Structure 1
């Protein structure tokens, strides 16, 4: 796939990456709405503002994708391609590193003037819906994207671990913005669910911005005393 992309013109790359990001967004929203349908929660119609910001987020994500490809093509990002046990190790390391990095970034935003200027936009609704995953201030989208590029530039990962991580990232993002908990409370008390950032975990953050800054896990919130039961 990377060989195919390397042979494309800049214009074709922009078109491919834009189509990829729009497709991912569409599939993520369909997945989220399907879960809401199964849980019998009414699906709120997205406002024009939400749709517009979602499209802006896709444009920025396309730019980040292009930047990542440019960094790889020029040797700044180094990826492994072997099918081996390293896929599992690299995925777990990338999962935990990004979880910690985003926790720190998220905590910093909430405890600075940046929250009022930027991040409060994402907290417009205390009862999130799937599209709110993509309703972010442009500066915040750039911030998260830059964090992602920095980590995969500093550390070499297996490409298949990267793909798995990206899919898991979208899954957790949609689950966190359902506004409903599809996982029964009994299961959430079991390992590994008791350490993961479930829908109710992130929903609690939207209800009370002083708690639950993590994304994929609640580990860092428990360590730094910012955890609150969902």
Structure 2
């Protein structure tokens, strides 16, 4: 038990550093150092408050602890024998790390979409998901800002991932880092995709910061995490998403007046 506690403390400490680094750098850049210069990138022109940021960081630290406990439980306890986690990197070709990472993101996106829709059930929303939606104008700090019940539900995605596909601890680490970076982008509050992104096949598949920002301002629709696929298949993508994305990109590149998303 002592070794498990030490492992939790170690993983939690590393995760906290990762949170403040990967969320803190874009926050400093967009919200503290260059807010005026990057104003045309801003999705909603209203500003969150210091109180919002403190609340988000507090809940994010709780969520980080939950995620750390789940990861340690799966990787460093006898529960590992029921998973497909492998510890020798050469058990699979090195290129498989990238394949497993992609598969884990696909599984996560599917898990998240249906879990997210369930959390929007009237009773569950008030019980747990409301904490996250207090951030109607999200920032990078919002990325892990969950009620503890939602944090548990979010973190348990690792269970089907390590049961369904072989995962090395390195791949698990890359999965958490990649997922968090995308999560920070989704909650950034600014759209930073290049102008060329709109005319690529990737636009039809991948989410954008505008996509998830609309979910926070509208409170429904756009439930996907990484991809637009489930929202488009299930008819839950906000009908004004593409129009709003185009409006913001025009604002960025043609210098039209700022308007922002209206809640």
TM-score by length of 2: 0.75
Counterpart of 2:83 (choices 50, 54, 77) is 77
Counterpart of 2:209 (choices 186, 199, 219) is 199
Whole-Å separation in 2 of the counterparts to 1:14 and 1:210: 35
Shift of 1:191: 2.8
**Cα deviations by residue, 1:82-130 (Å, 9 ceiling, x for unpaired):** 3433223222211111111110100111134201221012111221011
Residue range with higher mean Cα deviation, 145-154 or 14-23: 145-154
**Structure 2 match to 1:21:** 15
Is structure 2 residue 180 aligned with structure 1 residue 180?
Answer: no
Counterpart of 1:99 (choices 94, 109, 113) is 109
**Cα deviations by residue, 1:28-66 (Å, 9 ceiling, x for unpaired):** 222331452553567853544333222222222222222
Whole-Å separation in 1 of the counterparts to 2:195 and 2:235: 22
Whole-Å separation in 1 of the counterparts to 2:191 and 2:106: 23
The alignment's C-alpha RMSD in Å is 2.4
1:28, 1:171 within 8 Å by CA — same for their partners in 2?
yes
Whole-Å separation in 2 of the counterparts to 1:162 and 1:17: 12
- Once the two structures are superposed, the pairs formed by residues 154-165 of structure 1 within 5 Å of their partners are 154-165=164-175
Structure 2 gap ranges (5+): 246-263
- Once the two structures are superposed, the pairs formed by residues 51-90 of structure 1 within 5 Å of their partners are 51-71=57-77, 74-80=80-86, 81-82=89-90, 83-90=93-100
Whole-Å separation in 2 of the counterparts to 1:48 and 1:157: 35
Counterpart of 1:115 (choices 125, 134, 137) is 125
Structure 1 gap ranges (5+): 1-7
Shift of 1:222: 0.6
Q: Aligned pair count? A: 223
TM-score by length of 1: 0.85
